[in-house]
Structure 1
Amino acid sequence: MEGLVPLAYDYPVLGVFWTTLWIFLWVLWFFLLFKVILDIFRDHDLNGWAKAGWLVFVLVLPFLGVFVYVVARGKNMGRRELQHAQDQQQAMDDYIRRTAGSAGASEADQLARLSELKARGDITEEEYQQAKQRVLQ
């Protein structure tokens, strides 16, 4: 065994703190970078060339690009995020209403159709009751 073997007690507590801090800042940086890139694509006020320009600026000079973007357009980032969340919630609510509404209407339509068939005499009372039980189950 040549050389020194670093042991856990050779790494000071302050070193652990600094390493943890740098890792935290690194993750925070990537979070902010992706947030800015998503906001660039989410913004409907920017045209395609402006989006491409901001994206190139953020990717070529990331620290300066993100800093300038947050200073120049950061005020509305929260509003766009909130609007996106509200749009998603509205879409989910509409989907639930359509899905829940169609199931109830479908059963009611089937029962109404069965009732018409029975009234016309196309099916017997026994067939009507059997079909009604299948629809209601």
Structure 2
Amino acid sequence: MDYPLLNTFWTIMWVFLWILWFMLLFRIIGDIFRDDGMSGWGKAGWTAFVVLLPFLGCFVYLIARGKDMGMREMQRARSNEREFQEYIRAAATANEQPGAGHADQLAKLAELKDRGDISPEEYARAKEKVLSG
């Protein structure tokens, strides 16, 4: 119990800054490896600079490539959102395509028969066709 309150606050601050530093370091290294426009030698050079001289390397990287870092993140987010929307659209329209599901086709046929759009004989033939095919 011989640890003053002010020292506790200082310790908490230093731990927080240490965690913040590692988050920044991992984000920079991740950005280096995700950048498709950078050559392999460029990636190796920046990684060595950031690992061997971490404080200087991170600050220089943020000054030199910080603006592009945000733009690359936005492009990646837009690309992921576009791919997700295309997947949802493809999954939603899969049920509308012919042969999507026998139950859906049979339900549509029953609805047509109930409305009187097709005769019971036509319904029976179409039902056989759906069930056989």
| The two structures share one fold, judged by TM-score above 0.5 | yes
Pick from 12, 18, 42: which aligns with 1:50?
42
Aligned counterpart for 1:68 among listed residues 60, 71, 74: 60
Q: Relative to structure 1, is the Cα distance of residues 82 and 127 closer, same or farther in structure 2, using a 3 angstrom cutoff? A: closer
Distance 1:104 1:127, change over 3 A: closer
Question: Which amino acid is the alignment partner of residue 38 of structure 1?
Answer: G
The percentage of aligned residue pairs carrying the same residue is 47
Partner letter of residue 37 of structure 1? I
Q: Scaled by the length of structure 2, what TM-score is found?
A: 0.74
Residue matched to 1:80: 72
Match of 2:85 in 1: 93
Secondary structure of 2:96's counterpart equals helix
- Structure 2 counterpart SS, 1:55: helix
Higher RCO (CA 8 Å, separation ≥ 6 residues)? 1
SS of structure 1 residue aligned to 2:97: helix
Q: 1:109 to 1:21 in 2, by over 3 A?
A: closer
Structure 2 unaligned blocks of 5 or more = 110-121
CA distance in 1 between partners of 2:123 and 2:5 (Å): 86
What's the TM-score, normalizing by structure 1?
A: 0.72
The correspondence for 1:104, drawn from 96, 100, 112, is: 96
CA RMSD of aligned residues (A): 3.1
Aligned pair count? 116
User: CA 1:45 to 1:124, structure 2 compared with 1: closer, same or farther past 3 Å?
Assistant: closer
Deviation of the 1:38 alpha carbon = 1.1
